A and B are shown apart, each in its own frame.
Chain A
Amino acid sequence: MLTKRIIPCLDIKDGRTVKGINFENIRDAGDPVELAIEYAKQGADELVFLDITATNEKRKTFSELVTRIAKHINIPFTVGGGISTVEDVSLLLKAGADKISVNTSAYRNPQLINDLANQFGSQCIVLAIDTKFENNDWFVYLNGGKVKTETKTIDWALQGVELGAGEILLTSMNNDGTKNGFANDIIKLISESVNVPVIASGGAGTMQHFEKTFIEGKADAALAASVFHFKEIEIKKLKKYLSKQNISVRI
């Protein structure tokens, strides 16, 4: 049986992890490679690296980092942040990334999703959507949540999959950082409306939140950052817990 995936997310700035992270058994917690190896050991199913600087000058640093990650870890990983052209994607895939995620650039230029899917295959194209609930509906936000659009999230998700996105990474801005749980209503709506996997993001605070997003939200995978970085939740324990709740996970 296909398992539900647990995905730690690492924010990268100038080739270093951003958030304060505390693992005793790691020499350099700012080194994304060391952290990635540690997460892989703990049983993470995939990893996501978001380049939050993502300026053109920094792109090269990031692709060199991607190669170092690919050399050292033996689980799949996605990279994202500021990717806006076929050339960007080609560079990152050649560097060793398994998948890439696009967000604002794909919304501004939906043809990009189509071009990427045709050239590299849908399986490596993740459409990341930042969403916020207001005026009784979920809307798409751009530029890391700074720019509001009038597009309903469900409409953009459907269009993105139609264009060739192979997965949806859905982050609820209402929930992100709250540790009050995932936005399971919109996650469920999207997951039941598209036929590609949906990764729930934003709001993880407890192990029960993961359980709920898999059961109520019908998420195929769940992504979190700080609860893993600050060891509030250990991946091994989380998977044991989920397994006890009869949720299929890789242990």
Chain B
Amino acid sequence: MKVAIIKYNAGNVQSVLFALERIGVNAILSDNADEIQSADKIIFPGVGEASSAMNYLRNNNLDSLIVSLKQPTLGICLGMQLMCKYSDEGNTNCLGIFNSSVKKFDFERQQGNILKVPQIGWNTIYNLNSNLFKSIKENEYMYFVHSYYVEKSEDMIATTNYGIEYSSALQKNNFYAVQFHPEKSSDAGQQIMQNFIAL
């Protein structure tokens, strides 16, 4: 089993590498097309800002590479958002794997009942509908850190509610994406990583 993590300018991938190590997988971190294409599973992580991340991917020809992948590929957090069509963050055209848009949480301030942005912490996922969530129970808790969200869509395989309902996971063909951080979501998150590796 060869697992590649796509290396680019968005964020810290150390915790993804460690999480894979905990389930006995030694992944490689790479921005080399041959190396990525020859992997059995690919993880597209990301913490950062959409437009600068997309620019980096384009300048390094990683955008066309990601879209062309045929093996199971998992986007995490910003990785998920970049796999969508368009993001309001920096008015960015993204990879377009999922036909969804990415919007910013925008809540009316009501005294005594303020939803903070970013959403930071543990929230539930429900309406689970994918092999990725094998043995994961409805309303399981996952760890989220984000200010932008993917609207509800036809590719939705998990839903979360933070002021509004949105897509906390997507799937289309070999492409999977989660808004939360499975690598930081305790034993249930670890199960999701194992499920992905076992696909």
Cβ distance A149 to chain B, nearest Cβ, rounded Å: 26
How many angstroms between the C-alpha atoms of A4 and B184 in the bound complex? 17
Total number of A-B contacts with CB less than 8 angstroms?
89
Stretch in B11-19, B55-63, B68-76, B127-135 with 4+ CB within 8 Å of A = B11-19
Cβ distance B113 to chain A, nearest Cβ, rounded Å: 9
Is the C-beta of A74 less than 8 angstroms from some C-beta in chain B? yes
How many angstroms between the C-alpha atoms of A121 and B109 in the bound complex? 24
Which A91-143 residues have a C-beta within 8 angstroms of B?
93-96, 98, 121-124
Q: 1/0 per position for A182-224, CB-CB distance to B under 8 A?
A: 0000000001100111000000000000000000001011000
User: Are A3 and B15 within 8 A (Cβ)?
Assistant: no
How many residues of chain B are within 8 Å of chain A by beta carbon? 40
Is the C-beta of B93 less than 8 angstroms from some C-beta in chain A? no
Do A94 and B121 form a contact, CB below 8 Å, given A1-B161, A74-B185, A74-B189? no
- Judged by DSSP, the binding face of B is mixed
Q: Write out the residue numbers on chain B whose beta carbons fall within 8 Å of the beta carbon of A220.
A: 116, 120-121
Q: 1/0 per position for B32-44, CB-CB distance to A under 8 A?
A: 0000000000000
Of A45, A74, A122, the contact of B19 (CB 8 Å cutoff): A74
User: Are A1 and B123 within 8 A (Cβ)?
Assistant: yes
User: Are A74 and B121 within 8 A (Cβ)?
Assistant: no
User: Are A5 and B145 within 8 A (Cβ)?
Assistant: no
Q: Write out the residue numbers on chain A whose beta carbons fall within 8 Å of the beta carbon of B111.
A: 192
Q: Write out the residue numbers on chain A whose beta carbons fall within 8 Å of the beta carbon of B14.
A: 70, 93-96
Q: Write out the residue numbers on chain B whose beta carbons fall within 8 Å of the beta carbon of A74.
A: 19, 22, 183-187, 189-190
Q: Write out the residue numbers on chain B whose beta carbons fall within 8 Å of the beta carbon of A121.
A: 11, 47-49
User: Are B123 and A3 within 8 A (Cβ)?
Assistant: yes
Is the C-beta of B143 less than 8 angstroms from some C-beta in chain A? yes
How many angstroms between the C-alpha atoms of A123 and B183 in the bound complex? 16
Q: Write out the residue numbers on chain B whose beta carbons fall within 8 Å of the beta carbon of A98.
A: 15, 184
Is the C-beta of A166 less than 8 angstroms from some C-beta in chain B? yes
User: Are B116 and A197 within 8 A (Cβ)?
Assistant: yes
User: Are A3 and B121 within 8 A (Cβ)?
Assistant: yes
Is the C-beta of B119 less than 8 angstroms from some C-beta in chain A? yes
| Minimum-distance CB pairs A-B, first 5 | A250-B141, A250-B122, A96-B14, A3-B122, A2-B123
Can you name 10 A-B pairs with beta carbons within 8 Å? Answer: A1-B123, A2-B123, A5-B121, A71-B21, A72-B22, A74-B184, A121-B11, A192-B111, A195-B114, A218-B112
